[in-house]
């Protein structure tokens, strides 16, 4: 291989490496607090669960500064559209038990996720990380739970999302000791 060809190959490798690095640098890792106004109390401050009906804006104030930005957010997946263990759409929520076992979080604490590829889920409230373009906007989803159907309003959507399992949701809210749903806080081994 000639020196010129080697130099060109090396330059191409460096440019690819830089491009890959800048693409990942454009993904903002966000937390649940980033999806609500700074003036809105966090769930642990007002006593879990946060109930939208008790909030002046019903939890409908969204963070528009994240609109169309590629974000990465960890939370718990609650299937909306599934066939067996393949999930085509799910709600990403900040704590286990949200929406089906306890009152629904405010819309600005719920993300409707449509994976780029069907996501294989072994259990409800599986901890996952979602990466994709965040779209603020109210959407309603029908969630089928053990005791019937419920309509859940989400404040954000991520379509064509990359979804991966995680062991830990960094800013999760742990159920109070007296919660009958505390068993959902199980740790993976």
Instruction: From first to last of the 189 residues of the chain, give the pLDDT tens digit.
Output: 555 544 444 444 444 444 444 444 588 999 998 998 777 666 554 455 555 556 666 677 898 888 889 999 999 999 999 999 999 999 999 888 777 666 788 899 999 999 999 999 988 889 999 999 999 999 999 877 666 678 889 999 999 999 999 998 887 766 555 555 555 555 443
Residue 136's pLDDT is what?
Answer: 95
Helix (H, G, I), strand (E, B) or coil at 114: strand
Please provide residue 4's backbone torsions phi and psi, each rounded to the nearest 5 degrees.
-65, -40
Q: Do residue 3 and residue 55 come from a single domain?
A: no
CATH number of the domain enclosing 156: 2.40.50.870
Q: Do residue 49 and residue 138 come from a single domain?
A: yes
The pTM assigned to this predicted structure is 0.75
- Using CB atoms within 10 Å of the CB of residue 130, give its burial: 0 to 12 exposed, 13 to 18 middle, 19+ buried: buried
- Tell me which residue range forms the domain holding 41: 31-185
Q: Do residue 38 and residue 8 come from a single domain?
A: no
Q: Do residue 6 and residue 54 come from a single domain?
A: no
Q: Do residue 100 and residue 140 come from a single domain?
A: yes
Q: Do residue 9 and residue 66 come from a single domain?
A: no
Provide the number of structural domains found in the chain: 2
Buried b (16+ CB within 10 A) or exposed e, 172-189: bbebeeebebeebeeeee
Q: Do residue 18 and residue 55 come from a single domain?
A: no
Q: Do residue 16 and residue 40 come from a single domain?
A: no
């Amino acid at each position: 291989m000639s020196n010129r060809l080697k130099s060109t190959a090396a330059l191409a490798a460096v440019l690819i490496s830089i491009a890959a690095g800048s693409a990942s640098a454009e993904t903002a890792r966000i937390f649940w607090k980033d999806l609500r106004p700074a003036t809105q109390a966090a769930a642990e401050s007002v006593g879990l669960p946060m109930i939208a009906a008790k909030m002046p804006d019903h939890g409908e104030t969204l963070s528009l500064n994240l609109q169309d930005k590629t974000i990465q957010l960890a939370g718990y997946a609650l299937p909306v559209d599934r066939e067996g263990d393949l999930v085509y759409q799910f709600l990403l929520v900040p704590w286990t038990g949200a929406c089906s076992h306890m009152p629904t979080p405010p819309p600005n604490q719920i993300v409707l996720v449509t994976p780029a590829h069907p996501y294989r889920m072994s259990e409800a409230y599986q901890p996952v990380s979602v990466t994709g373009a965040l779209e603020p906007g109210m959407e309603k989803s029908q969630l089928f739970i053990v005791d019937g159907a419920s309509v859940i309003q989400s404040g954000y959507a991520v379509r064509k999302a990359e979804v991966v399992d995680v062991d830990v949701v960094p800013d999760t809210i742990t159920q109070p000791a007296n919660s009958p749903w505390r068993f959902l806080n199980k740790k993976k081994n």
